[in-house]
Each structure stands twice: as structure tokens, then as C-alpha cells.
Structure 1
Amino acid sequence: MSIAAFIMEPEELKNNEAMYTPISTEEGFYKAWYPLIQKLELKWLTHMSFGLDVTKSNLQEVLSELHILSAFIEESENPYRIGLLERIANLENMLNKAFENENVVVYIG
């Protein structure tokens, strides 16, 4: 299994461009991501393990938690540092691009 972000109903996109962003394998998530998310007590990102719907109403909170996680990783000696930072940046870019459209729901899980 893997964890990824994707548009729930791609027909909502203005340009009909399918959006899918891989995040991690399930094993990688529990090995590299989840311990940091728990340590930082990030309530939204905790839900990535079993499914999180990102909507306009919680987008800023999710992006804020991604920023907190990224800043923590940048200052750490985490052996997965480069890969994690790259995946976080890809996810942030995908979310920002997806929400240029109205009525979009991005599922992460």
C-alpha cells in the first residue's frame, strides 16, 4: 500500500488535468513520517495514515502543519531528510494548484 494525494472528483478541475502526488509507501510513512507527525502533535497530518479530505475549509491548517513539519526536518539530522522535504514540497505545490479550482476535495491517504 502507499499514501498519495489525489483529486476526489477530477471533473471539478478547470483544465481537466488529473492530479496525483505520491507521498510514501505505507512502510515508509510509518518509519519516517509518522514519528515526526506524532512528536510535533500535528492533528491534521496524523489523519494521512487512514485518510484525510482536504477542503478549502481546512487547507490553510494542513499547509501550516506541512510547513511546521518541513521546518523541523530541515533542522534535523533525519536520514530521510532530503526525500521527506522533496515530498512535502511536492504535496504543498499540488494542494496550492488544486485549490485554484472551486469545489475541490483532495484526498490524502
Structure 2
Amino acid sequence: MSIAAIIIKPEDKQFYVPVSTEAFFERCWIPGIKELELEITSYFYSPGIDVDENQFPELTNELILLKEWAKRNLTENESSHLVSRVDKLLEEMTVAFKEKEVIIYIG
């Protein structure tokens, strides 16, 4: 299984951003999420979360903190992989939220 971001409103079958495999998420994301006490990001794994443009600034802050944590606490390969996925997610969500009333499910 894997964790990805998809637009659920309005439905957009072209928007798909891979975030992490479950194994990598458990090994590399969850320790940082717990240590940093991140709220929105903690729902990526289970049960998943709907994110709208109002939550995007807070999510962006959480993901920036997680990237910094990864650079300090993970191996170079793990950190590089996590950072690249976070960067791609933020890039794609920034474009998606230019449209009004977009809701993105991450899970």
C-alpha cells in the first residue's frame, strides 16, 4: 500500500502525487511526526485527511519542520527521499490550490 494525494473536489483523475509507501512512512515519517507533534501530517497514514486551502499554510509549516527533522535524524538516502517527496507534494498542492474550493485527500 502507499500514501498519495488526490483531488476529491472537484474530481480530478489527473492529479495524483505519491507521498510514501507504508513501510517508508512507518520507518521514516512517523518518528518525526511524533517527535515534532505534528497534527495534520499525523493523519496521512490513517485514516487519511481532506485538506483545503485554509489548512495549506499549517500543513506547509509542518512539512518544512519534518524535512528539517529528516535531515538531522535519517540517513542521507532516507532524508533525500523524504525531502524530495515533500517538495513535490508542496509544489503540486500550491498549483492545485490556485483553483477555488479544491479539496485534496492525502492518505
**Same fold, judged at TM 0.5 (above):** yes
Distance (whole Å) between structure 2 residues aligned to residue 43 and residue 77 of structure 1: 20
Runs of 4 or more consecutive aligned structure 1 residues displaced over 6 Å after TM superposition: none
Structure showing the higher strand proportion among its residues: 2
Identity %: 35
2:68 maps to amino acid: A
The aligned length equals: 104
| Corresponding position: 1:49 with 2:45 | yes
Q: After superposition, give the CA deviation of every residue in 1:25-59 in whole Å (9 maximum; x if it has no partner).
A: 11111111111111111011001011011101211
Distance (whole Å) between structure 2 residues aligned to residue 35 and residue 3 of structure 1: 16
What residue number does 1:72 align with? Answer: 69
| Corresponding position: 1:98 with 2:96 | yes
1:1-109 to 2 correspondences below 5 Å: 1-11=1-11, 18-50=14-46, 51-74=48-71, 76-79=72-75, 80-109=78-107
Deviation at 1:100, TM superposition (A): 0.7
Gapped regions of structure 1 (runs ≥ 5): none
Gapped regions of structure 2 (runs ≥ 5): none
1:68 maps to amino acid: L
Deviation at 1:77, TM superposition (A): 4.6
Contact 1:5 1:22 in 2 (8 A): yes
Give the root-mean-square deviation of aligned CA atoms. 1.5
Deviation at 1:73, TM superposition (A): 2.0
Contact 2:6 2:17 in 1 (8 A): yes
Contact 1:10 1:18 in 2 (8 A): no
1:6 maps to amino acid: I
